[in-house]
Amino acid sequence: MQTEEIVKVNRKGILAGKKGIILGIANKWSIAWGIANSLHEAGAELLFTYQDRVKDRVEKLAEELGGIKTLECDVTDEALLEKSFKEIAELFDGKIDFVIHSIAFAKKEELEGRYIDTSREGYLLAQDISAFSLAAVAKQAEPLLKANGGGSIVTLTYLGGERVVKNYNVMGVAKAALECSVKYLANDLGPDKIRVNAISAGPIKTLASSAISGIQSMINEIAEISPLRKNTETEEVGDTALFLVSDLSRGITGEVIHVDAGFHVLAAMK
Ligand code: NAD
């Protein structure tokens, strides 16, 4: 059997009986869409939330997976966030097993040049959408995960939150805050058996990453020099998310798992 077929067999049934929500699908290139496919194949019942501007595309993708429920949710709108989670509670009888948070945003002009030139407004916007939103979503999800007897929250981060990556700038600082939030949230929610982890994905061409100046040359270089001599694929991130929401990872919380072909172990880029 080819690796792809073996993986499909391995996924089967791992998440049977589990239900959860995925925030952050924009289109078929989204990492969240890769995650949705892995979790769906593993038997999870899903709900997608979307930002208004991508409603049509997300609804189409939800149809492709057999009519998954969808809801609008903008993480900067506290009232909408609350309303969405009320609806989620009704749809899932007050209990969910997992939340996938795959959301980030920074203005394009902040993703090039020097970090020192970041505007106050750009800084606060990137922090709000890309870091604070995890805490805001976790707060809304807490009662639903608690009623379930525990669960798993997974977010997406990037190496630029640990080290300086050219042009990542304000988003790197937001990812550092996000990764630190993962640890604080893991400690807050651990007594209720709610685990919180992050996946640090290697660069993948998506709507969000295309705003980062020089992303394509970074992707080309990683294929040449990463330990696995390849780029990261959304399916690989999806399967790690599958592991993190499954009971197989029950002993893991507050962790950042790199899914980046091993690139993070290298000392420096060219
Ligand atoms: P994407 O553009 O497909 O996804 C980003 C999502 O964030 C979109 O669905 C968008 O609608 C959503 N979003 C932005 N602002 C929002 C708001 N105010 N309310 C609700 N949703 C909002 O791009 P992606 O690359 O799949 O990004 C998903 C996550 O993965 C992000 O956290 C990103 O930083 C992270 N990540 C991406 C890469 C990469 O190279 N693509 C690498 C590591 C980590």
Full 3-state SS string of 184-228: HHHHHHHHHCEEEEEEEECCCCCCCHHHCCCHHHHHHHHHHHCCC
Atom of ligand 1 nearest to the CA of 203: 40
Q: Looking up tokens 């780029």, which residue turns up? A: 231
Q: How far is CA 52 from CA 42, 70, 75, 107, 138, in A?
A: 28, 11, 11, 18, 21
Distance of alpha carbon 143 from alpha carbon 262, whole angstroms: 36
Contact 7, 239 (CB under 8 A): yes
3-class DSSP state of 39 = helix
Minimum CA distance residue for ligand 1 atom 5? 103
* Total Cβ atoms within 10 A of residue 216: 13
Ligand 1 centroid distance, CA of 120 (Å): 21
- Give the model's pLDDT for residue 4: 83
- Known catalytic membership, residue 168: yes
- Give the model's pLDDT for residue 269: 57
- Predicted TM-score of the model (pTM): 0.97
- Known catalytic membership, residue 123: no
Residue 136 φ then ψ, to 5°: -65, -40
Which tokens sit at 21? Answer: 């929500």
Atom of ligand 1 nearest to the CA of 205: 41
* Catalytic hit among 50, 115, 158, 184: 158
Ligand 1 pocket mutation pick from 53, 105, 167, 226 by most atoms within 8 angstroms of CB:
105
Run means of pLDDT, 10 residues per run, the chain, 270 residues: 85 96 98 98 98 98 97 97 98 98 97 97 98 98 98 98 96 98 98 98 95 91 96 97 98 98 85
- Give the model's pLDDT for residue 3: 85
